[in-house]
């Protein structure tokens, strides 16, 4: 279980997050909502340690989240975060290689299995610029899944998706949530209503 307790964060004089608490378990989708500028992205950045909260704590199965276990929390950025100069397969293999999670052969097999599951096996040699927005997003999801996270966060995942790809994303989240706790930051009420088990509203 992932737990946030009394998280507060300011930028200079501006208080962005004040005493935010929530928890999310495996097989659960938690939506974080709220008006623009209320601190949703800031909270996500604190969760994945791109920002440091001023006070409060994050724990994973009771253990404080730090640099060592931070890899158990994944973030699916917007599609633009793929490396443009690497093809799909190389984009997928770079992080597992860096973290030495699998042997090279095992990493390739797992990547190919996900590519097949997500209907992208024929795109493994394509570059990000040659993919649709929905395909790029699926690559970003696979890239996060290969690191075997316990918690997977999505930042505005439907912002560049058409209805068909949105349905596909919901199907994928439904499939992966059995093994992962999912946190979704989104403005998309329709998406949240259909996918979230619970929600917290900031602001
Ligand atoms: N690095 C930073 N330095 C100073 N202020 C920041 C920084 N990052 C964000 N802020 C401010 O913190 C507040 C919250 O920003 P944040 O991006 O978390 O909001 P949000 O809820 O995700 O908004 P949106 O829905 O528009 O993406 C805003 O007032 C923003 O200007």
Reported ipTM:
0.95
pLDDT given for residue 88 in this prediction: 97
CB of 45 sitting under 6 A from ligand 1: no
* Cα(23) to centroid(ligand 1), Å: 22
Smallest CA separation from ligand 1 atom 2, residue = 11
CA atoms within 13 A on the CB side of 127: 5
pLDDT given for residue 30 in this prediction: 97
Output the CA–CA distances (angstroms, integers) from residue 106 to 91, 93, 101, in the order listed: 16, 10, 9
Each domain of the chain, given as residue ranges in start order, spans 2-162+173-201
CB of 59 sitting under 6 A from ligand 1: no
pLDDT given for residue 92 in this prediction: 96
Contact 160, 131 (CB under 8 A): no
Sign of torsion over alpha carbons 20, 44, 48, 119 = positive
* Cα(42) to centroid(ligand 1), Å: 6
pLDDT given for residue 70 in this prediction: 86
Smallest CA separation from ligand 1 atom 4, residue = 11
Regions in the chain scoring below 70 on pLDDT: 78-80
Which CATH number does the domain 2-162+173-201 belong to among 3.30.310.50, 3.20.20.140, 3.50.50.60, 3.40.50.300? 3.40.50.300
Mutate which of 10, 33, 41 for ligand 1? The one with the most ligand atoms within 8 Å of its CB, which is 41
Helix %, strand %, coil % of the chain (to 5): 40, 25, 35
| The total number of residues written for the chain in this structure | 203
């Amino acid at each position: 279980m992932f737990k946030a307790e009394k998280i507060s964060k300011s930028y200079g004089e501006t208080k962005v997050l004040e005493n935010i608490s929530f928890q999310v378990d495996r097989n659960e989708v938690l939506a974080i909502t709220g008006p623009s500028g209320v601190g949703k992205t800031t909270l996500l950045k604190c969760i994945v340690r791109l920002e440091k909260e001023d006070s409060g704590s994050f724990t994973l199965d009771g253990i404080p989240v730090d640099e060592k276990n931070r890899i158990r929390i994944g973030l699916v950025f917007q599609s633009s975060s793929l490396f443009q100069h690497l093809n799909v397969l190389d984009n997928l293999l770079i992080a597992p290689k860096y973290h030495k999670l699998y042997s090279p052969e095992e990493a390739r097999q797992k990547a190919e299995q996900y590519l097949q599951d997500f209907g992208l096996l024929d795109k493994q040699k394509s570059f990000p610029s040659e993919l649709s927005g929905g395909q790029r997003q699926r690559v970003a999801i696979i890239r996060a899944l290969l690191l075997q996270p316990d918690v997977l966060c999505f930042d505005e995942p439907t912002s560049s998706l058409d209805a068909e790809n949105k349905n596909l994303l919901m199907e994928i989240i439904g499939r992966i949530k059995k093994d992962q706790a999912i946190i979704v930051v989104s403005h998309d009420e329709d998406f949240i209503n259909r996918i979230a088990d619970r929600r917290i509203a900031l602001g």
